[in-house]
Structure 1
């Protein structure tokens, strides 16, 4: 396996994007597409590359507008990010893969399974909400008072870096200090500070607008990983995901919202055990 210290970023043209990605593991291994969360990058998967790439072909791209994958974000949505992900797999000649996503990445993974279930060998969903709310009126209110209204004003007054710091501080006050691990906080602040402002707004707008109606019964093996210090909404949605999919196992690890970073050994062990049981 290529060591994570020397792992080099690759790029491939996929649709209208030049996608930057990390790849490690044997070409003959089961492809595992790793999708990061909002305002993160492919680098959040380095602990999984170190722990899983001896057996599996790990592919970790930067999503549209994130990291080194630039592109038009005006129409960014969970649905369009799923299309981007399939185009990325197509560009690499990968017909079928296990999809592993955290937070927004998990939402995209679910959408991929809804769009093209025959191309999804398995799902690993970490700290994944179905939406910010399943209540129709509340969803409408959140969409109206969304990132497109709040974030540009905050950026103008505070700047992106300070907005990220204040956002983290507020989240810790509301959800508890364990909700954001040290590594997750660093990735969040770095991403928030370095991404184009319109891409940050688009990423959060995609989460707010996410419609979970398409997530239906799927004949796909699914592992749902939840941090013990996750919000009650995401914990409740984990149960709803398991109910809708039907073939889902829920595993809790000692972590916050980005469990693959907060508890990499426990996360890797759960994923390795799950993937080993696939046909």
Structure 2
């Protein structure tokens, strides 16, 4: 069953839908709303269960998360948008490509991967989901997920960024985080989906990302028929938070070029 997502909606112009990473919320996009919102219509939903969005009672599914986003676009009267997903948001963006390709004006995949989880990673997600449900808090995410979200440069030089991300992880509802982990563990390979994408695409990766490798990024770019691959220096798994100016500049150039070709 579709849930009605809470979303912040700022600015005007080409719609830009930003899908947040796990286990954060649309609060991670503050710098993008402030900057990109001066050039585009920036829509930042909370994926189901996070931030201001309800979880519902459905079985965990990335596809269902994509259906939620498509329903949000319908409610807002948006035919097509540039869809940008980071990490878990990238999985949702790829599911949107598969299930609602007509909604896609452009695609940005950042610090994510098109492959399914290997068995060990899948077991880790399920173990964390069980602990989240048992403990009712996010301690397991602070212990096992947070250390991998930020790059070494951020950890050395950007204490405020680390504190902010830690706060966002701590604020994640345990039940929603468990649901999302189960949904991501169950997702399949998306390379066939990417090979069928006709919209222009941009693949981004933080240079210091230890979760999504350079090979993962290159594999997505190679599968997409019309894609560019760029690296954000001195950033880990969350370039929009760690290097917002560089991230925003790169996305601005991509979305502006798209706007020119569609007007």
Scaled by the length of structure 2, the TM-score of the pair is 0.85
Over 3 Å counting, the alpha-carbon distance change for 1:60 and 1:183 in structure 2 is farther
Runs of 5+ unmatched residues, structure 1: 1-14
- What secondary structure is seen at the aligned counterpart in 2 of 1:19? coil
Give the aligned partner of residue 244 of structure 2.
264
- What secondary structure is seen at the aligned counterpart in 2 of 1:108? helix
Give the aligned partner of residue 23 of structure 1.
9
Contact 1:225 1:251 in 2 (8 A): yes
Matches within 5 A, 1:64-213: 64-72=48-56, 74-131=58-115, 133=117, 138-139=118-119, 142-143=121-122, 145-153=123-131, 156=134, 160-168=137-145, 171=148, 177-178=152-153, 182=159, 185-186=162-163, 188-213=165-190
Contact 2:205 2:232 in 1 (8 A): yes
- What secondary structure is seen at the aligned counterpart in 1 of 2:51? coil
Report how far residue 189 of structure 1 moved.
3.4
Over 3 Å counting, the alpha-carbon distance change for 1:236 and 1:88 in structure 2 is same
Report how far residue 204 of structure 1 moved.
1.5
Give the aligned partner of residue 31 of structure 2.
47
Contact 2:131 2:140 in 1 (8 A): no
Over 3 Å counting, the alpha-carbon distance change for 1:46 and 1:192 in structure 2 is closer
Runs of 5+ unmatched residues, structure 2: none
1:187 and 1:130 map into 2 onto residues whose CA distance is 28
Q: What is the count of residue pairs matched by the alignment?
A: 254
Give the aligned partner of residue 230 of structure 1.
209
* Mean Cα deviation higher: 73-82 or 89-98: 73-82
1:115 and 1:155 map into 2 onto residues whose CA distance is 30
Report how far residue 209 of structure 1 moved.
1.9
Structure 1 runs, 4 residues or longer, greater than 6 Å off: none
Report how far residue 160 of structure 1 moved.
2.7
1:265 and 1:83 map into 2 onto residues whose CA distance is 31
Report how far residue 152 of structure 1 moved.
2.9
**Pairwise CA RMSD:** 2.6
Deviations 1:92-140 (A, max 9, x none): 111111101111111111221122222200011111122454xxxx43x
Scaled by the length of structure 1, the TM-score of the pair is 0.81
- What secondary structure is seen at the aligned counterpart in 2 of 1:128? coil
Contact 1:33 1:99 in 2 (8 A): yes
Report how far residue 249 of structure 1 moved.
0.6
